Amino acid sequence: MIDKRFRRALDALHDVPDGATILVSGFGEAGNPTELIHALIEQGARDLTVVNNNAGNGEIGLALLLKEQRVRKIVCSFPRGSHSHVFDELYRAGRIELELVPQGTLAERIRAAGAGIPAFYTPTGVGTEIARGKETRSFGGRDYLLETALSADFALIKAERADRWGNLLYNKAARNFAPVMAAAAKVTIVQARHVLEPGDLDPETIVTPSIFVDRIVHVPDPVRESDHLAALDKARPA
Amino acid sequence: MTGWNREEIAARAALDIPDGAYVNLGIGQPERVADLMPAGREIILHSENGILGMGASPAPGETDMELINAGKKPVTLVPGGAFFHHADSFAMIRGGHIDVCILGAFEVTCSGDIANWSSGGNAAPAVGGAMDLVAGAREVRVIMSHQTASGRPKLVEALTLPATGLGVVKRIYTELAVLDPARGGFRLVELAPGVDLPMLERATGASILAG
């Protein structure tokens, strides 16, 4: 019998070593696996490289992981946010390394890793600072940059519905990076709002097939980052 | 009142979008375009975070933070809308399927070069999807303020900030005018109410070419 369910997030994350590279789903607040990140904080791994579109907001989830100084390097496209003060302070103090990657290149590097493609050429970033040090090659009279696949030890992602095999559905724009990240890590850990039995999900609508998923944690009522940010604003002296 | 306010600039940009177009809206000023779609046209808005058929801002109390735009603000989905993952979203962008994208900018030159990801100081740079959009969208348009807060022109002959893309911008909407980058200067398409040519020339860091 295949059962990828873990009762506790902390157990699902037990083997994350120091120095691991971790893909974290989410765009803004949509799709952030906040409970898994909080379990990672509790678990204690440090010196991490984290890949996310952003660099955390407020003092919750990824921002809290940064605040706890567990992250050596962040790979992202847009570290600026409405409440990105934790990252901003670490960056200005030179206490976190930033690899800035154009968003489409970031998605495709992760997709390529999951698909067994070591590198690809893209028109994105030609003629800019992003091209520095990268091979440029011309196809059909247009220049392209060589970008390499971005694989990871772990992926932490959030889904709306999972079955016990790990087939996944997402909610609206919370899908974002999760499907490509699920395929690109050695171990993919999912927090899902609903966990069902095989056969409960319509096979025509499954977005991430179970082969890409290793561990599932049921988080029926995930924290809302917007509530946290509102509370943070309220607490802040006017 | 001299010039267009932010809403009027976004409405003016929306007015140029043809019926049937697939249009990506970038972060900041372009986000407003979704609320100001011209009546009688079916225009499909794309958001880089995996939405086609993005609609206007939701009514108060109906926000869903898992349905947000590129600027992380809540939006709605129109009937016929679709969700997809990031690699598909950027296949649409990079693969040349987006008819028009509307971006914000720090600087645009009369050659169509654009800078909008790094302010050059010690603040962290943030590129998002801008470099993919300028590389892949069929037409790039910009909504921006005409000058910086300290009164420096943002429409210039040459970039002073790191480039996002070169020779890509086809049209610019500011509070003062609609302009097209053209060889040697910016071609005037339309002046905002109360703005005259000398005023526009003073605020612009390159020649203004008569329409």
Select from B107, B92, B198, B116 the least CA-distant residue to B148: B107
pLDDT at residue A71, rounded to an integer: 98
In CATH, the architecture of A5-122+149-235 is 3-Layer(aba) Sandwich (3.40)
pLDDT at residue B1, rounded to an integer: 65
pLDDT at residue B122, rounded to an integer: 83
Higher pLDDT, residue A238 or A130? A130
3-state secondary structure of A129: helix
Please count the residue pairs, one from chain A and one from chain B, whose beta carbons lie less than 8 angstroms apart: 145
208-227 of A, contacting B, C-beta below 8 A: 224-226
Average pLDDT over residues A109-113: 98
Q: Give the H/E segment covering residue A38.
A: helix A34-43
Average pLDDT over residues A196-217: 98
Average pLDDT over residues B100-127: 95
Question: Are B67 and A104 a contacting pair at CB < 8 A?
Answer: no
Average pLDDT over residues A210-234: 96
pLDDT at residue A238, rounded to an integer: 56
pLDDT over threshold 90, residue B121: no
Chain B neighbors of A91, CB-CB under 8 A: 124
Q: How far is B42 from chain A (nearest CA, A)?
A: 22
Confirm or reject contact between B165 and chain A (CB < 8 A).
yes
Q: How far is A175 from chain B (nearest CA, A)?
A: 6
Average pLDDT over residues A38-58: 98
pLDDT over threshold 90, residue B79: yes
Measure the CA–CA gap between B121 and A31, rounded to whole angstroms: 31
Average pLDDT over residues A67-96: 96
Chain A neighbors of B84, CB-CB under 8 A: 175
Q: What percent of chain A has pLDDT over 70?
A: 99
With cut-offs at 50, 70 and 90, classify the pLDDT of residue A9.
very high
With cut-offs at 50, 70 and 90, classify the pLDDT of residue B26.
very high
Confirm or reject contact between A167 and chain B (CB < 8 A).
no
pLDDT at residue A226, rounded to an integer: 92
pLDDT digits (tens, 9 = 90+) for A127-141: 999 999 999 999 999
43-72 of B, contacting A, C-beta below 8 A: 47-51, 64-68, 72
Average pLDDT over residues B82-109: 98
Confirm or reject contact between B109 and chain A (CB < 8 A).
no
Q: Give the H/E segment covering residue A230.
A: helix A225-235
Measure the CA–CA gap between B100 and B148, rounded to whole angstroms: 26
Q: How far is A218 from chain B (nearest CA, A)?
A: 19
Measure the CA–CA gap between B69 and B143, rounded to whole angstroms: 17
pLDDT over threshold 90, residue B183: no
Measure the CA–CA gap between B5 and A206, rounded to whole angstroms: 45
Worst-scoring range by mean pLDDT, A23-27, A29-33, A212-216, B119-123? B119-123
Q: Give the H/E segment covering residue A165.
A: none
Question: Are A180 and B125 a contacting pair at CB < 8 A?
Answer: no
- Active centre residues of B (catalytic): 48
Worst-scoring range by mean pLDDT, A61-65, A127-131, B1-5, B30-34? B1-5
50-89 of A, contacting B, C-beta below 8 A: 53, 55, 77-82, 87-88
In CATH, the architecture of B6-209 is 3-Layer(aba) Sandwich (3.40)
pLDDT over threshold 60, residue B101: yes
Q: What percent of chain A has pLDDT over 90?
A: 97
Q: Give domain limits for chain B.
A: 6-209
ipTM: 0.97
Confirm or reject contact between A112 and chain B (CB < 8 A).
no
Question: Are A103 and B66 a contacting pair at CB < 8 A?
Answer: no
Instruction: List CB contacts of A10: < 8 A, sequence separation 6 or more.
Output: A39, A42, A43
Q: How far is A103 from chain B (nearest CA, A)?
A: 5
pLDDT at residue B210, rounded to an integer: 85
Q: Give domain limits for chain A.
A: 5-122+149-235
Q: Which residues pair with B100 in a beta bridge?
A: B23, B139
pLDDT digits (tens, 9 = 90+) for B128-161: 999 999 999 999 999 999 999 999 999 999 999 9
- Give the one of B50, B130, B164 whose C-beta lies nearest to A173's C-beta: B50
pLDDT at residue A11, rounded to an integer: 98
Measure the CA–CA gap between A137 and B54, rounded to whole angstroms: 36
pLDDT digits (tens, 9 = 90+) for A194-205: 999 999 999 999
